[in-house]
Amino acid sequence: MNNLLLVIPARKGSSFHRKNLKLLSGIPLIRYTLEASKIALPHSTLVTTDDPYIFDECLSYNIIPDTRPENLADDKATLDHVMFYIATNYIYDTYVCLPPTSPNRTKSHIEEAIKKFYDNKADSLISVTEERKSIWSCDEDNFIRPLIERTKNRQQENPCYISNGAIFISKRELILKNHKKASGRTILYLMDNESSVDVHNEQDIRLAEFYLKVKS
């Protein structure tokens, strides 16, 4: 368990310019993840970014700074691409990807997810929220069709699960083999909706602030 790397991917562009430095309740967004990364388990923490101002926010934290190459800093770069790059260049047994867009995720969430990953001897883990509503997609003619259609009362339906973007865990060999941040025998870690706000716009920031105040 000692060979564990927490990876915080924080590129400059993201969904809006310098989103990861946006103030949330007066604190830069990335600091919530930096604080949550101070888990009790033996580990190292790496921040990968193309933004020097992100590294300025990390000065008081014990992190490995990774200056992300340009080809992984544009809108076409995915977390799968980033984690393959990290697994290629930083050799650890297990990687925990912690996007800084989840400010309501805590140290406890991360520690519980890691414990579940190891206890179940899984290849990967993804944090999720529960969904019991119908889910639809839209075809080329703008007509919708059900991906998951619910016909019973909510409490009678079996849930499906949606990735909340907060925690991804995987073994190194699976990342290198499949070029994905999570693959193989993947288990879920269930989180509540209040802890699962994924910040991509101003409305998300206000919602995250609201839940932080409710829990404080």
Domains annotated for the chain, with CATH where assigned, are 4-129+160-210 (3.90.550.10)
Query: Token digits for 186?
Result: 């993947």
User: In the prediction, which pLDDT does 15 show?
Assistant: 62
Distances (CA, A) of 113 to 105, 122, 161, 178: 11, 11, 16, 22
Give one word for 115, left, alpha or beta, with left for phi > 0 and alpha for psi -120 to 50: alpha
DSSP-assigned letter for residue 196: -
Instruction: Enter the pTM of the model.
Output: 0.90
Per-residue pLDDT at 185: 97
Can you tell me whether residue 41 is helix, strand or coil? coil
Task: Report, in angstroms and rounded to the nearest whole number, the Rg of the chain calculated over CA atoms.
Answer: 18
pLDDT of residue 1: 44
pLDDT of residue 215: 80
Long-range contact pairs involving 63-66 (C-beta distance under 8 Å, separation at least 24): 63/8, 63/34, 64/90, 66/90
CA distance 28 to 30: 6
Quote the pLDDT of residue 154: 61
- Mean pLDDT per 10-residue interval, the chain, length 216 residues: 87 78 95 98 96 94 95 90 97 97 97 98 97 80 78 70 96 97 97 95 94 86
CA–centroid distance for 122 within its chain: 18
CB distance 187 to 140 below 8 Å: no
